[in-house]
Structure 1
Amino acid sequence: MSSPTPTLTRVHRAYARIEATDRPEVWIDLRPRAEVEMEARVIDERVATGDRLPLAGKLFAAKGNIDVAGLRTTAGCPAYAYTPEGDAPVVARLRAAGAIVLGTTNLDQFATGLVGTRSPHGAVRNAVDPARISGGSSSGSAVAVALGIVDFALGTDTAGSGRVPAAFNGIVGLKPTRGLVPTTGVVPACASLDCVTVFARTLPEAEQALAHMTSPPDRDLPALPQRTPGPWRIAVATPAQLGELDEGWATAYERAADQLGSAGAELHTIDLSPFTEAAAMLYEGAFVAERYTAVGGFVDKLISEGGEGLDPTVAGIITRARDIPAHQLYADQDRLAALRTRALAQLAEADALLLPTAPGHPTLAEVAADPLGANARLGRFTNSTNLFDLAAVAVPAGTVDGLPFGVMLIGPAFTDERLARIARLLQPQLRIAVVGAHLSGQPLNGQLLTLGAEWERTTTTAPAYRLHALSTTPPKPGLVHIGEGGAAIEAEVWRLPAEGLGRLLAELPRPMTLGRVELADGGHVPGFLCEPSALDGAEDITRYGGWRSYLRAHT
């Protein structure tokens, strides 16, 4: 029987992970396994015949308010469900690049909330501590990524839903400039503010997915201030303006700021009040009326029929928005414009604003006791981003008492790439030595590039190794340490995010292992080695001095 193809193997691991994690509340609908396996075989056949599918082998999930062909779009409300005629454009683009969608994920109903508990499908528990919230509204998507079920997932972000769940689950959340990713085929929350976002476990993986989701800007690019050469300029908030944070979070925020400073960035404080005042307006002001425009008529009708399947907190928010007077909207627009002018004037002096993604991480019980108050607190730093038409990226920044802590970088519209470059400075870097199929130009080098690895140098191992040609697909060598009687083998050293190294290890097929490799200069770095049992019958190719020399001699 032939071995499973690479994408099919990834599918098998995903379904095994779904069973092992036993988190049914993550999903609204999963595609039938046989259907997904068939699609995986087709993807691998296309790659084998030369089709360029840059996302081949990648699995993703879509938030339950995004259309996926063949599955219901429910927005977290079963009575609202409809079956779309096709994929939302963003889903179609990812599938065209070779990615496979596993299913739709749970969310705060009608994308109304930052907690991840407002759903008839159940509260989505945190990936690290099930007693705490996952964050919403894109709760299921974030947890599916954090649990290692999918490589990336789609969410939406109106008030912070693509960033707060990222922070609480220790993953990356990219919230692009509004309009870069189409929202066609997405059930609106506040249509003028909504963004489709992406979650991934590493920043490069999130960026790779986002690159296939974007469209040309739907508006003229603004005239951004000309950046003068020099270090990154990062705006930070004073402890007093951050307000009350969970214990240890202020210190973690300062640590992230210090890390940017140690990387050469210049830090300066700003007045955070325009951001926090605007944040309060998103739900307390007239802008919440747009949520009634989106689904209010449906909610009213369902309430008149008994309200089955409606989350009471969500229903209350939407129905109260029905009676907001028009004059309040105009007054709030004027006030928002003034706050935005003040905020952008400060951002003009900075390349990015660094903030905690959220002020704290409540338990499920705490949210149940005060659903509106807990939710309002969570949006203190995220609610203003779309109101001000800004871009943002949320990244992990260590832990506090064993729980993930995250920060976000915020900047003007269309500074998405700049924010990601700065965010990389917050990601721990490790080195890895490769000697075979992961070398530059070899078939598996793309795995390193996808994880954000950067080539550092070409060298050799210490003269203590033997190299063997293994019978694998794709062909690769096996490196073993023998000490005396060994030889120096050509190697490349790459730098990559620490999380990326963990991903490589998790997906490393036997007989390959990850161990310590001694280099010619006497240093040691992690590298790919081989189980001794795999060497039976394998040709010893040490005399060639490296894998590439061996391949050249046999072509």
Structure 2
Amino acid sequence: MTVWITRVPPARPKPGPLHGLTMAIKDNIDLAGVPTTAADPRSTTPAVANAFVVERLIEAGAVALGKTNLDQYATGLVGTRSPYGACHSVFSEQHISGGSSAGSAVAVASGEVDFALGTDTAGSGRVPAAFNGIVGIKPSKGLVSTSGVIPACRSLDCVSVFARTVSTARRAFEVMAVYDPADPYSRKLPRPAASTGTPLIGVPDRPLGMDPLHERAWAEAVDRAAELGVVVPVDVSVLLETADLLYSGPWLAERWLAFGDKLDDDPAVDPTVRSIVRRGAELTAAETFAGFDRLASLTRRAEPLWTRIDALLLPVTESHPTLAEVAADPVGVNSRMGRFTNMVNLLDLCAVAFPGPARDDGLPFGVQLLAPAGHDELVIDLAAAWCGEPVSSQAPAADEVLLAVAGAHLSGQPLNHDLVLRGARLAFESRMARDYRMFLVDGPVPRPGVTRTLTPGDGPGVEVEVWALPSAELTGFLATVLAPLAIGPVELIDGRQVLGFVCTADAADPSREITTFGSWRTYQATPSLH
């Protein structure tokens, strides 16, 4: 199969939170100097600049390895509608990879890159994740810029990210999620503080009509959801009804507007893509507004759902088709692939797909969590908890700042009371990025200082506690910090930036380095060193 359309030699990575991570880019997203084909070989003009999101990632240290195959013009959920060849799941040569972001998902699942960019209009950032056993984050609309992306359905398009772990996908997502004033669809969304209570996870209150292997895996997934929160049965019929609207409403006209002029009778154009999108040319303005009215009605009917639950758990697909099944019924099979995904952008939701219980035949089974726009961190955190990875739901409230401590302010250490008496709370434990070094420094109590270098170390990173400190207390706390230490921005192992203790370079005495211990507590527990 053809995973890559264009390979490029790796550039020297820039310093940053993604330093050295390799990425693939779906070939409807611009990479400077490389044609953006959207899987149409007739597109041969190199892009003059990087897409906004690609530029962000490269500046953060990611290294692009090339452009990946897709369902032509991002129209499809199967991964077979490309003149460059069909992609298959990494689990089976007979089963589809899912699309349209087929090549990006396979490049990640096969280990060729650390993460990859896709796009998700109808589910293309989630279906390929499900069929390849990886993670796919579909951000809220407008949270990630689409400047430099060939549109499929511009009002709904989202740039998505694939990775093998939630943590890696999150690191890329945090770099990507920046307002772009040049993109008219970019928007600044409030990002609510994470709930401290037990999450309420909605699940459909009736059978979903999946194939038997999917049904058995789904039953296990519902049981797993009960370990993460309170499972609330809900009626999802309005969501499924909305999903049907995507390819029967005016959004086909938007696809025709985006690339209808490319759909001539040239054999380079996939005939299924041509037949689907050409219908958009026939829609009238009256039919378009009727579709918008219909969506407004469905959206209003769906609103009460989110007063009962924090997130909704759904399967990503109802089955895992073979390549032969798609060849026999390309439109019908594809339509069924979007049954649980098509409505997400129409209803302005965010989503993350991740591996659920494997099917009895060994093929992967993907599930997804949905929530209203702006609640991206909530669903990512729940996915991380499901996958046994660290979560960041201990995010600060609007009137708090996060402060990483590595020494005398840790729980149980002599200066911890300076935090506790100011109303700080322990939010979570983490590690600093691997290019920080820890040294013994002088002071009234034993303590370490941490300094950043340009060369990542071999260890796991310095262990820290991250405390949420009331913002009003920050100035008073700063007055207690004695030289050679200071408070400044530090980077955690997952790429997030918080405030933290750093020491001046002149206090970083190489003869007093203790980085190899990994934590201040481990150093203290080695009596022979004191």
Q: TM-score, normalised by structure 1?
A: 0.69
Q: Which residues of 2 match residues 278-289 of structure 1 at below 5 A?
A: 278-289=242-253
Post-superposition shift, 1:345? 1.5
Partner of 1:185: 148
Partner of 1:122: 85
Partner of 1:433: none
Partner of 2:381: 421
Aligned partner letter, 2:295: L
Deviations, residues 68-118 of structure 1 (Å, cap 9, x unaligned): 012110001111343111111111111001110000000000000000000
CA separation of 1:139 and 1:228: change in aligned 2, threshold 3 A: closer
CA separation of 1:79 and 1:352: change in aligned 2, threshold 3 A: same
Q: Is 1:27 aligned with 2:4?
A: yes
CA separation of 1:552 and 1:59: change in aligned 2, threshold 3 A: farther
1:204 aligns to what SS in structure 2?
helix
Deviations, residues 94-146 of structure 1 (Å, cap 9, x unaligned): 10011100000000000000000000000011111111100000000000000
Partner of 1:516: none
Q: Which residues of 2 match residues 359-370 of structure 1 at below 5 A?
A: 359-370=318-329
| Structure 2 CA distance for aligned equivalents of residues 115 and 227 of structure 1 | 35
CA separation of 1:93 and 1:553: change in aligned 2, threshold 3 A: farther
Partner of 1:356: 315
| Structure 1 CA distance for aligned equivalents of residues 458 and 254 of structure 2 | 57
CA separation of 1:28 and 1:447: change in aligned 2, threshold 3 A: farther
Correspondent of 1:171 among 134, 137, 143: 134
CA separation of 1:147 and 1:287: change in aligned 2, threshold 3 A: same
The answer as to whether partners of 1:75 and 1:81 remain within 8 angstroms in 2 is: no
| Structure 2 CA distance for aligned equivalents of residues 75 and 359 of structure 1 | 27
| Structure 2 CA distance for aligned equivalents of residues 312 and 319 of structure 1 | 10
Aligned partner letter, 1:246: D
Post-superposition shift, 1:426? 1.5
The answer as to whether partners of 2:431 and 2:463 remain within 8 angstroms in 1 is: no
Post-superposition shift, 1:342? 1.3
Post-superposition shift, 1:185? 0.5
| Structure 1 CA distance for aligned equivalents of residues 242 and 212 of structure 2 | 25
Aligned partner letter, 1:293: L
1:393 aligns to what SS in structure 2?
strand
Post-superposition shift, 1:398? 2.2
Partner of 1:86: 49
| Structure 2 CA distance for aligned equivalents of residues 136 and 295 of structure 1 | 18
1:409 aligns to what SS in structure 2?
strand
2:332 aligns to what SS in structure 1?
helix
Partner of 1:145: 108
Aligned partner letter, 1:269: P
Deviations, residues 186-237 of structure 1 (Å, cap 9, x unaligned): 000000000000000000100000111111384464798x998631011110
Deviations, residues 31-81 of structure 1 (Å, cap 9, x unaligned): 1x4xx2xx23xx3xx6xxxxx422111000000000001211000111134
Q: Which residues of 2 match residues 65-464 of structure 1 at below 5 A?
A: 65-216=28-179, 218-219=186-187, 221=189, 230-240=197-207, 242=208, 244-263=209-228, 265-299=229-263, 302-303=264-265, 307-400=266-359, 401-428=361-388
| Structure 2 CA distance for aligned equivalents of residues 386 and 429 of structure 1 | 27
2:357 aligns to what SS in structure 1?
strand
CA separation of 1:266 and 1:328: change in aligned 2, threshold 3 A: same
The answer as to whether partners of 1:239 and 1:250 remain within 8 angstroms in 2 is: no
CA separation of 1:129 and 1:493: change in aligned 2, threshold 3 A: farther
The answer as to whether partners of 2:143 and 2:187 remain within 8 angstroms in 1 is: no
| Structure 2 CA distance for aligned equivalents of residues 386 and 427 of structure 1 | 25
CA separation of 1:474 and 1:425: change in aligned 2, threshold 3 A: closer
CA separation of 1:392 and 1:450: change in aligned 2, threshold 3 A: farther
Extract unaligned runs of 5+ from structure 1.
Answer: 1-22, 47-51, 431-439, 452-472, 478-490, 495-540
Post-superposition shift, 1:277? 0.9
CA separation of 1:229 and 1:313: change in aligned 2, threshold 3 A: same
Post-superposition shift, 1:284? 1.9
Post-superposition shift, 1:343? 1.2
Deviations, residues 311-356 of structure 1 (Å, cap 9, x unaligned): 0000111112111122111111111111111112112221001000
| Structure 1 CA distance for aligned equivalents of residues 43 and 30 of structure 2 | 13
| Structure 2 CA distance for aligned equivalents of residues 475 and 344 of structure 1 | 49
Give the structure with the higher percent helix. Answer: 1
The answer as to whether partners of 1:65 and 1:75 remain within 8 angstroms in 2 is: yes
Aligned partner letter, 1:317: I
| Structure 2 CA distance for aligned equivalents of residues 143 and 223 of structure 1 | 31
Aligned partner letter, 1:208: R
CA separation of 1:260 and 1:289: change in aligned 2, threshold 3 A: same
The answer as to whether partners of 2:179 and 2:188 remain within 8 angstroms in 1 is: no
1:395 aligns to what SS in structure 2?
strand
The answer as to whether partners of 2:191 and 2:374 remain within 8 angstroms in 1 is: no
CA separation of 1:315 and 1:228: change in aligned 2, threshold 3 A: closer
| Structure 2 CA distance for aligned equivalents of residues 168 and 362 of structure 1 | 10
| Structure 1 CA distance for aligned equivalents of residues 527 and 46 of structure 2 | 54
Aligned partner letter, 1:277: E
2:318 aligns to what SS in structure 1?
coil
Percent identity of paired positions between Structure 1 and Structure 2:
47
Deviations, residues 140-198 of structure 1 (Å, cap 9, x unaligned): 00000000000000000000000000000000000001111110100000000000000
The answer as to whether partners of 1:172 and 1:200 remain within 8 angstroms in 2 is: yes
Deviations, residues 253-298 of structure 1 (Å, cap 9, x unaligned): 22222212123x1111111111111111101222211100000122
Instruction: Report the aligned-residue RMSD.
Output: 3.3
| Structure 2 CA distance for aligned equivalents of residues 386 and 88 of structure 1 | 21
The answer as to whether partners of 2:430 and 2:463 remain within 8 angstroms in 1 is: no
The answer as to whether partners of 1:204 and 1:450 remain within 8 angstroms in 2 is: no
CA separation of 1:227 and 1:148: change in aligned 2, threshold 3 A: closer
The answer as to whether partners of 2:249 and 2:291 remain within 8 angstroms in 1 is: yes
